[in-house]
Chains A and B, each alone.
Chain A
């Protein structure tokens, strides 16, 4: 297969890649860019472990060809920490016990991140809706929801 050139921005850094056109965004992030914080859990857009933020929206990177991301701005879990400071979401996930095994957490964080960007004052139902595409088998979601609420409240201050 003839390779193609694509460029996009990941976590504020420009990436220039020469890749097979059938590569998923997920594989490019994990294999070519070494950003293994983005996980694969189902490959069919059901579990949300592969969620990244693409041009401000939370998307399943297992369902997107890397070529579709050409020219886009992408944020992965590795990009949430700024200058060594945890993002309020990360901090609150820790403080509220929202993390158990941690496998779903990058996706959860990014779905919540996209939510707070769009709606800084979400109600509980908005939060549930925003992470409804992110499966977690460990936590029962309650402490995750509490953490997102707390992060949103910090936003308000």
Chain B
């Protein structure tokens, strides 16, 4: 191994594990404050309506109701949003999706309030419901937000070269359309928040299941009309987020804060699963049309891509999610001529925002499916076609970004995965075998027009023909961190104590991914101590600088960079102390290792780290430091979609092996080999955990998960209908790390969390194609998709137990 570390890259036990295995960790709903009240939401069962009147008379004098909060109580911004401010904290003129909230009842007993909320009388006039983004774009479609010109949220364009000429020069052209569904984050902890009014003019203190405390602070301050410093946000232990506890938590925090200030008492909001799924945002459903021109030798000449993303009722992160799509939509393939349009559109569906992957899993499913189709058409294997077109050092992306100054490891991860799995042999073998699936579409036709129908011997499958093996792969490149989306800088506070122990706090949030441990390792590596010597502080917006959101797989790269910077500041102060103490010249170097410090050229001359801290402390040296890491400038020309969109990239390849039961349509994932280049692995246990978790979520996306809507209403409101993978659903997962060099982050460590998820569904879809001989265009590949090539949904909205 080229990189030499004492702790980095080894398996390290999480720093916050002990409280989590003993049940002591305090998640938001575990926190109770004396005198607290509860908030319960008032909604109306409609997807799109004009509110005519709201009558609270039946509840306002009820003893169980301490206060009613609605839009009239808001001193500041009535509508909020990270990019466009289009989402009301409480709806007042109209309702645009069933999750919308008109008011909140506040009182001591949640149970009582839940009964009372139905007594609020809302008169409304239903409006036409738009659920299809393509229809919502028509010029005569009703406007969901009448203050906007159309239902278009955003339109990103990318223009490179001359696509028409590219198609004209191509030997072949392939055109296909793919779709992907809405997806629920399905963090196991539902949302909860508690707002406590503070004494005098100290404002409000909010603790909750909050992914991005600094974003929440901005929104709450705007709604309350407070300066930022009057709103303190503390993160409770977070029970999973995956991008999901952002907008929804900002709004819930604002509601809790309003109620706390109105009543002068602490107010808690905690959601049941049904509330959570109903109101929280989803991963975007996409409609993707690809046209690809290519030559006999496999070289891609031109790509024309048209993507429509269902933004649902509010814009949320749609402009940024779809921006990542426009940057990455071609996949990691050199293409001279590209024409891409990505549009985000308002509908009356649940709104969509950030979710792990952030605009990448959808195009990867389409682009990787098409690449396989091209290979098959040309008689090549999937790895061959990718070797021909895949990014190499110096390649230029669709946005005109030349890939250099880091290891462009696309072909390395591909080779590693292909070799490890014996890919080509298996793929070819499965491809040769393969009596086609029985054509159920034809059967349907027959059942629609019944007549004499006789099954022949050939219509039946021999028992051993029922199970089909398939293998498939998918590759990706992914821009790290925020790119041209916004300010990209992170703070870390590190404070050494007299005895050599340390406090550490970064402005990014621990969402369960293990970031506290990662940062403790980074600090410990620089200072030569153990991660166990580092005590991580609770994230509170009052104690550390605004570091932006914990998104875009930027925590290790950016926060790790900031932590390393802080640790290096302190290390250099300690080195100065030692130079004086030992009478060494200015250029004397030291080794910090195993809680000892010694002169580099004289290991005999050493001092315990704790002793050194004590020495520095007694010399009045400042042992606290703030590290700062700012991403380098990136730029973007919006008119043509050109520019170095991100300052660096990561590469991944996953191979899925599946067994398809072609009699039932069931797909079982036997094995996924996941090869990723995250630069440098900081914590091996944590990195492996990211792969296992990401692949499993990706398999859920590929095979089972779907939020389906009926006139804007979600059918799957709990885990009885929204199926996420269980322990029994997936076979082996093999994580492999290829560590490329990079100049950014701590020792070149960059992104991993999202890359692990974005590839799996695409790899599975290609494996299913290999097993069945049939291409599937619509996720998820559930039983009915495999058997009937369509989705079946119940016609009644009533749920099993409801």
Contact = CB atoms under 8 A, between A and B. Distances in A.
A5 B240 CA distance: 37
A139 B689 contact: yes
A38 interface: yes
A41 B718 CA distance: 10
A97 B689 contact: yes
Nearest to A139: B693
A contacts with B: majority SS:
loop
A129 interface: yes
B728 A128 contact: yes
Tier of interface size on chain B: 35 or more
Contacts of B25: 102
Contact of A94 (B14, B27, B239, B726): B14
Interface string B692-705: 11111100000000
B719 interface: yes
Contacts of A37: 22-24
B238 interface: yes
A42 B722 CA distance: 11
B240 A99 contact: no
A93 interface: yes
A28 B695 CA distance: 37
A94 B23 contact: no
Given A35-B23, A77-B23, A132-B728, A44 B718 contact: yes
A138 B727 contact: no
A60 B61 CA distance: 38
Contacts of A99: 14, 17, 20-21
B272 interface: yes
A142 interface: yes
B7 to A, nearest CB: 15
B26 A41 contact: no
Given A41-B273, A46-B719, A139-B689, A100 B514 contact: yes
B21 A42 contact: no
A42 B719 contact: yes
B724 interface: yes
Contacts of A73: none
Interface stretch (B63-71, B186-194, B407-415): B186-194
Interface residues of A, number: 53
A134 B241 CA distance: 18
A144 interface: yes
Contacts of B188: 39, 41, 47, 49, 101, 103-104, 135-137
Interface string B167-197: 0000000000000000001111110000000
A94 B692 contact: no
B692 A142 contact: yes
A109 B25 CA distance: 15
Nearest to A102: B20
B458 interface: no
A76 B726 CA distance: 22
Q: Which of B187, B237, B513, B726 has the most CB of A within 10 A?
A: B726
Contacts of A139: 689, 692-693, 696
Contacts of A47: 188, 273, 719
A100 B689 contact: yes
A143 B689 contact: yes
Contact of B693 (A44, A94, A100, A105): A100
B51 interface: no
B514 A44 contact: no
Contact of A102 (B237, B724, B726): B237
Contacts of A109: 21
Contacts of A53: none
Q: Which of B241, B513, B691, B728 has the most CB of A within 10 A?
A: B728
Interface string B505-544: 0000001111000000000000000000000000000000
Interface string A29-48: 01000011111111110110
A90 B273 contact: no
A68 interface: no
Contact of A128 (B24, B239, B513, B727): B727
A131 interface: yes
Contacts of A95: 13
A95 B694 CA distance: 20
Contacts of B725: 140
B724 A137 contact: yes
B688 interface: yes
Contacts of A76: 23
Contact of B513 (A39, A80, A100, A105): A100
A81 B22 contact: yes
A41 B192 CA distance: 12
Nearest to A46: B719
Contact of A137 (B688, B697, B730): B697
Contacts of A141: 692, 696, 726-727, 730
B17 A137 contact: no
Q: Which of A86, A102, A105, A142 has the most CB of B within 10 A?
A: A102
A104 B240 CA distance: 10
A152 interface: no
A39 B697 CA distance: 22
Contacts of A96: 685
B314 interface: no
Given A41-B273, A143-B688, A102 B512 contact: yes
A116 interface: no
Nearest to B16: A102
A128 B240 CA distance: 22
A128 to B, nearest CB: 5
A131 to B, nearest CB: 5
A131 B727 contact: yes
B644 to A, nearest CB: 33
A103 B14 contact: no
A78 interface: yes
Contacts of B512: 100-103, 138
Contacts of A44: 273, 718-720, 801
Q: Which of A100, A101, A143 has the most CB of B within 10 A?
A: A101
B188 to A, nearest CB: 5
A143 B692 contact: yes
A81 B22 CA distance: 7
Interface in B1-34: 11, 13-14, 16-27, 29-30
Contacts of A10: none
A86 B689 CA distance: 22
B375 interface: no
Given A132-B726, A142-B733, A41 B23 contact: no
A59 interface: no
Contact of A140 (B239, B242, B733): B733
A66 interface: no
A36 B20 CA distance: 12
Contacts of B11: 97
Contacts of B695: 140
Q: Which of B14, B23, B237, B272 has the most CB of A within 10 A?
A: B23
B720 A101 contact: no
A43 B190 CA distance: 11
Contact of A77 (B22, B272, B718): B22
B686 interface: yes
Sorted nearest first, the 3 A-B pairs with minimum C-beta distance are: A37-B23, A101-B512, A103-B239
Interface of A: 30, 35-44, 46-47, 49, 76-78, 80-81, 86, 90, 93-97, 99-106, 109, 127-129, 131-145
21 contacts: A39-B239, A40-B29, A41-B190, A42-B718, A43-B272, A47-B273, A78-B22, A81-B22, A97-B14, A97-B688, A101-B512, A102-B19, A102-B21, A128-B728, A132-B726, A132-B727, A137-B693, A140-B693, A140-B696, A140-B725, A142-B692
Interface of B: 11, 13-14, 16-27, 29-30, 185-190, 237-242, 272-273, 511-514, 685-686, 688-689, 691-697, 718-720, 724-728, 730, 733, 801
Given A41-B189, A102-B17, A105-B21, 13 more contacts: A36-B30, A46-B718, A81-B22, A86-B21, A86-B22, A96-B685, A99-B21, A100-B693, A106-B23, A139-B692, A140-B689, A140-B696, A145-B727
